[in-house]
Amino acid sequence: LSNPKNVAIIMDGNGRWAQLRGKPRTYGHIKGARVAKKIVTECASQKLESLILYTFSTENWLRPATEVGFLMGLLRRYLKRETQSLVRQNIKFTVIGDVDRLPKDILEAVRFAETSTASNTGLKLVFALSYGSRAEITSAIKEIANRVLQGELEVSQIDENLVQRALQTSTLPDPDLIIRTSGEVRLSNFLLWQSAYSELYFTKTLWPDFNAEQLALAFVDYSNRTRKFGGIAKYEDATH
Ligand code: IPE
Ligand code: IPE
Ligand code: MG
């Protein structure tokens, strides 16, 4: 198997990284944002098709207001500073999630980054912002139910393809590989539908320590796997 084309990352462990150094959690988020920038550039230069970064979850709104405020500030600065660099790198930036919950100026910066990079043809970079997979699936169900009520759609026409198109990731391929840093072995409400056949990679490395070498290790691990999608492996078939 070759390198994955579509990758998603749960960037976890910023707080623990800072605490290990006797610093406030926010210090870890600053380092984490720098790592995100480097990994984006690495994925663009490796010609990946898409990269979805779990940046802020629906549940992260429950964190102390000071931490949420700090993360929003980081995001604001990242968008302001990086938009032109994304344009230059031919990266197409979009977001998934309930972005209406974001502060107004951040939502504007998000929309500006999206429109500025809309005609780019390289890496599709997606920030999952105020994102939760259950909320995403729930709104897809509502949308489909409404279409049935309006008489646009028959219940018998509801199939997996139609559900997929009602999700916020409708224009994106499912991830080949999902990476989670920090040693937690769970998805935390990330891409539950889309991950049905993704390969999962968990590393104990905390996100602020993640780098291009660590990414390469994840890709090697992926390339040694056999994806079967419920069938049998190609080499097994050849023995008959
Ligand atoms: C990931 O790091 C960043 C966000 C969730 C925004 P955490 O802040 O979750 O760091 P830990 O898991 O507490 O170490
Ligand atoms: C998942 O990490 C969300 C992001 C990385 C943005 P969390 O740190 O919020 O997840 P839990 O709470 O450990 O499951
Ligand atoms: Mg965490």
Six-digit token string for 34? 């720098």
| Residue 4 contacts residue 48 (beta carbons within 8 Å) | yes
Six-digit token string for 79? 């968008």
- CA–centroid distance, 17 to ligand 1, in Å, is 9
Cross-sheet strand order for the sheet of 50-57:
92-96, 124-131, 50-57, 6-10, 177-180, 199-202
- CA–centroid distance, 119 to ligand 2, in Å, is 32
| Residue 182 contacts residue 11 (beta carbons within 8 Å) | no
| Residue 70 contacts residue 76 (beta carbons within 8 Å) | no
Dihedrals phi, psi of 19, to nearest 5 degrees: -60, -35
Residue nearest atom 13 in ligand 1 by C-alpha distance? 15
Q: Which ligand is nearest to the CA of 62?
A: 2
| Residue 50 contacts residue 122 (beta carbons within 8 Å) | no
> Which among 10, 14, 20, 55 is the best mutation to test ligand 1's pocket, defined by most ligand atoms within 8 Å of the CB?
14
Distance, in Å, from the CA atom of 9 to the CA atom of 175, rounded to the nearest integer, reads: 10
Sign of dihedral through CA atoms 217, 91, 199, 99? positive
pLDDT in the model for residue 240: 56
DSSP secondary-structure letter at 167?
S
Distance, in Å, from the CA atom of 36 to the CA atom of 25, rounded to the nearest integer, reads: 17
Strand partners of residue 129: 56
Distance, in Å, from the CA atom of 71 to the CA atom of 65, rounded to the nearest integer, reads: 10
pLDDT in the model for residue 233: 84
Ligand 1 nearest atom to the CA of residue 16, by list position: 14
Q: Ligand 1: list residues with CB < 6 Å.
A: 11-16, 56, 60, 71, 182
Q: Which ligand is nearest to the CA of 29?
A: 1
Q: Beta-carbon neighbour count of residue 17 at 10 Å?
A: 25
Q: Beta-carbon neighbour count of residue 15 at 10 Å?
A: 21
12 a catalytic residue: yes
pLDDT in the model for residue 238: 64
Ligand 2 within 6 A of 184 CB? Answer: yes
- CA–centroid distance, 116 to ligand 3, in Å, is 31
> Which among 10, 11, 16 is the best mutation to test ligand 1's pocket, defined by most ligand atoms within 8 Å of the CB?
16
pTM for the predicted model, two decimal places = 0.97
Per-position pLDDT tens, the chain of length 240:
799 999 999 999 999 999 999 999 999 999 999 999 999 999 999 999 999 999 999 999 999 999 999 999 999 999 999 999 999 999 999 999 999 999 999 999 999 999 999 999 999 999 999 999 999 999 999 999 999 999 999 999 999 999 999 999 999 999 999 999 999 999 999 999 999 999 999 999 999 999 999 999 999 999 999 999 999 987 776 655
Distance, in Å, from the CA atom of 122 to the CA atom of 92, rounded to the nearest integer, reads: 7
pLDDT in the model for residue 44: 98
- CA–centroid distance, 55 to ligand 1, in Å, is 9
Residue environment code for 180-217, b if the CB has 16+ CB neighbours within 10 A, otherwise e? bbbeeeebebbbebbbeebbebbbebbbbbbeeebbee
pLDDT in the model for residue 6: 98
Residue nearest atom 9 in ligand 2 by C-alpha distance? 60
Q: Which residues surround ligand 3, an ion (CB under 5 A)?
A: 12
224 a catalytic residue: no
- CA–centroid distance, 13 to ligand 3, in Å, is 5
